[in-house]
Structure formats: C-alpha cells, structure tokens
Chains A and B, each alone.
Chain A
Amino acid sequence: MRKMPIIRVENLFKRYNGVEAVKGVSFDVEEGETFGFLGPNGAGKTTTISILCTLLNFDSGVALVNGFDCRKEPHRVRSSIGLVFQEITLDNELTAYENLKFHCYLYNMNKKVAEERIDEILDVVGLSDRRNDIVKKFSGGMKRRLEIARGLLHRPRVLFLDEPTLGLDPQTRSHVWEFIHKLKKTVGHTVFMTTHYMQEAEVCDRIAIIDGGKIIALARPDELKRSLKGDTIYIKTASDELARLEIQEKFGLNAKVTDAGLSLLVEGGEKFIPRLFERLTTEVLSVNLKKPSLEDVFINLTGREIREDGPGARMRG
C-alpha cells in the first residue's frame, strides 16, 4: 500500500470578500518533499497556505495535513506544522533566545528539551553568537533565519514557508535560499513553500503553478521545462502583429504576443534565428534566445509574465 501523503488537498474552494480566491485546487505532497506553489500575487497561494495552517476556513473540499482534518482537528494540525509567514512575526523587543524560548513553551516543551533545542537550532542557523541580542538590531536576513529556526524548534512534520524572501535584497535572498537548501539536506523536513520568484522555485522537487485560483500545471521543474519542447525566442519588431502573421505563414509557428515582445517556441533556437532573419520582412528591433526556464513555462501557460514587485506586490497572494 502506498504511504499516506503528508498533505492532501482535494477540490478546495474558498470565496473571499465575494471573490473566488481558490477554485477547486487539488494536490498531494509526499513526506520529505519540497513542494513549491508558484504564481503571481493574488493567485491564491497565501489563501491556500492559510487554509492548510488552519488560519482560514474554507467553503468546500478536503484539506488534510499529517492525516488531520484542517477544519475538524485544527489543534492537531497546528502541532504538526511549522510556519514562516510573509511578514516578520518576531518580537522585536526580545532577544533571539527569548523569542525561541517563547515558542518552545507555547509548544509545551519542558525546560531541558527547550534549552537543548534552542542551542542546537541557533547553531544550525548560525546565530549562536547573537543569542542574547535584541532582535530589533538584526538585519532582514538574520530575522528570516531566526524565524525559520523558530518554525523548526518543535520538529514539525511540515515546514510552511510563505514567500520567505519577500522584501529582502537579492543578495540576502540567495543567502536565505542557500540556507533553506542546506537545511533540507540536513534536517530532511517536508517543505511547502510559496513564491513568485521563478528562480527560487527551481529548488523544489515538484512545483504547482497556480494562477487565478487554479493549478494550471504540476510537475518536477525539469519536466515542466521539457514540456516546452524547445527554446524560447523573444523578438521585438516594428509591428508585432504583422510579424506574428508572417511567422505563421512562412514557418507555420504560433507566436504569442507577450509583455516582452513576440515569443515563439522552437527546437534548436540558435539555428532557427538566422533562418528567421532571412525570411522575415518586418523590421526586427531586438532578439533574445532563452533556454527554457520556469518563467517561460509560466508565460507559455498564461500568456503573462509573473510581475515582480510591481504595485500591490505586498498584497496577500
């Protein structure tokens, strides 16, 4: 018999202020897996994560974490999970140690176990020397590391990371990811994360791409990329519409009009570009060849780019 998945979601619906935020989402997450939820802001990522963490009720469907029903047994679900929120939820007036101790006692650990785990986890996140410093003085990256440490203190079966690098500068962002990756290797937790940064999703074992409250693709990152069957060529032309028709006529290829110009999928893009230039009469302003990335998968599926840090980027997704 197959092992029970650690997270099971079936046909989940959630209406939020008159808007259907989640429209029939289904997926399973296996134990030990790093599972990514990728999508633009407002796609339903945070809503789904909030439901799984019992912070939000849902209208219909099934949501099980560690075998417990999120609606009927919220206390048992809460004991099984660790959560790192989008926004910092540390107490700035307390020290790193005090924040962690608070967490231990909240999860009913005794003093001895608490002290051991705090020492251990501070070492893992490299904050042992800042143990007794007030959190207010910490940098954004350090606060993140401390929060992730806190989320792991009670040894949860699943660690939820909701946009763990939101609002961090690119350098800190990659540090945090290196750290999460290292952590996964050493601790081996199941990690469920959401992000709208494509590069970050690449570390996942499997990715669900979510848009408009629905999962539009679910596979391993390499499978998703392979599904594109080729490279993406972006061209900007004097008239994208004319060029699109011309390409269709001469090469039998369907180009898509995107924010980044015309995009077309071809195998062996390097060899295709010279042929394209030879036969295209519309003036080409720029050309760009990209080997498949998750960004392209997303654009191919939705016809849009994932907006990064545009207006409303801090809105709940």
Chain B
Amino acid sequence: MNHSEHLSKQYDSDLEDVRSRVLQMGGLVEAQILAAIDCFTTGDHDKVSQVEEAEFRVNAYEVEIDDMCVHVVAKRQPAARDLRLIMGVSKAVTDLERMGDEAEKIARMARQVHDRRGLQIPRSAEVRRAGEMAVTQLRRALDAMARLDPDEAERIIGEDVLIDGEFRNILRQLITFMMEDPRTITTALEIAWIAKAIERIGDHVKNIAEQVIYIVRGTDVRHVSKELRRFGGSPGEGL
C-alpha cells in the first residue's frame, strides 16, 4: 500500500469514527427519551435515576465528539462534503445534547407529577403518543444520517408539524381540565411542561434532518420554505 493511500484510508476512518460516534450518542438519547416517557406513564422512580445517569454519558459524548471534530479539521483540513459532514455532525451533537436535557426535564417533571398522588393524571395517553412520535422521528433522522438519505430527511422535516399539532391538542385538553376543576391546575401545568419538552425534541429532530440535507446536497435549508427547499435555494436567492 502506498503512502498517500494509507493516509486517505486513515482520514476516511477518522470521518467515519466521528459519524458513528454521533449515531451512538443518538442511540443513547433515543433510549433516554423512551425511558423518560416511561417515567411519566409508570411513575417508576428507578427509571428517573436511569435517565439522569444517561445524561452524564450524553454530556461526555458531546465533549468527546466536539474534540474529535476539532482534531479532524485541524489535522486533515477536510474540504467539500467531508467538511460539511464535520460541520453538520457537530451541530447535530448540540441538538442531541439538548434533547438529552429535555428528556431529563420530562423525567423530573414526571416524578413531581407522580409524587403528588391521589389525583388522576389527565391526558397521559396523548403525551405518551406524542413522545413516541418524537422518538420515531428521531430514529428516522438518525437512520437518514447513517444512510445519508436527504429524501427521508425532507420527509421528516415535513412531518414535524404533526408533533406540533399533537402538542396544541394536549394543551387544549389540559385547559379544559383546568377550567373544570382548578385543583388539577398544578398537575396540568407540569404535564404542559412535559408536552412542551416533547415538542422541543421534535424541533431538534428537525434540525438534525436539516443537517443531513446540508451534508449531502450542500444547501442550507434552515428557515427556508418548502418550495424554496425544493429548488435548492437559499433564503437570499428567494427574495
């Protein structure tokens, strides 16, 4: 094997390492969010500590991957798609870490809701469904990143409105509960926080999907309407 071939192989494996690290982190966050939603539906205290423990590992991943990205950029000076991969991945890491924080928030709120026993918990099935939707979206976004599949990423971005709609539904129902019986207000507010956290997770998923499109096509689709996205334009061009 000649020298330059060896170098480029090493470089490819560096890039692949970064990406697979991010996807592993994604797998952990996925499990963490699921556990957080379980906390809410079952009120299992052990699960809460599980979520908190995962949070440490997620943070460690973030630091490690950021460090890997800096090293690849400094040592290999990647260009074109490789550079976009590094940039996109390091942004996705931030989103994943935020999702971890949201999961922790859900778990903590869930504990508070369940510690105040005696009150029937309104609308837990809807929250569960919204949460599962968000986790499915996350799984699909990570798959799209593994496969570098921009079409799937585009579909995910389009479907974010479903989670937003679910969130508004939950809110409307919670408001009805609060009006009927003011004693439910505290609990209902906490559930609203949980639903909001799930909605935020959906937004972060959308960001990750946008990074996938950026990596593959080199077009920045953030804050761009769907039509412009189809033509691959940037907001400047659209005006």
Q: Do A and B come from one complex?
A: no
